[in-house]
Amino acid sequence: MIECKYCGARIHEDDEFCASCGRAVERAKPKKDLGENPFVFGLISFFMPLFGFILYLLNKRTEPGRAKICIKWTIFGTIFYLVVIGLLILFYLFIIIEILT
């Protein structure tokens, strides 16, 4: 049994229309679209490590393979940002020293 998106009535999985409100039954789209594309998860995790970590926590139990990709790229992304921030700090230190001397 699933719940009608519009009125909340219980509907059979195979029913095309809600018996209560008559609307077409909208089923949740299978999540495998993204799941079958680990590249997308890797990309999200890399550029948004915090989001990648959340994805890791969300998928840890249900999709261990996907969670592994997320945490892996979260770590890569974090290292990447740390390096970039480190270089920026060095860059500004260099500029400050140039100005002061």
Binding mask of the shown chain, residues 18 to 57, with x at each position contacting Zn ion by CB under 5 A:
x-xx------------------------------------
Q: Which stretch binds Zn ion (CB under 5 A): 15-23, 26-34, 53-61, 84-92?
A: 15-23
- Answer for which of 6, 51, 53, 76 binds Zn ion (CB under 5 A) is 6
Cβ atoms 67, 60 nearer than 8 A: yes
> Which SS3 state, helix, strand or coil, does residue 12 take?
coil
Query: Dihedral of CA 79/81/85/87: which sign?
Result: positive
What is the token pair recorded at 86?
């480190």
Residues at the interface with Zn ion (CB under 5 A)? 4, 6-7, 9, 18, 20-21
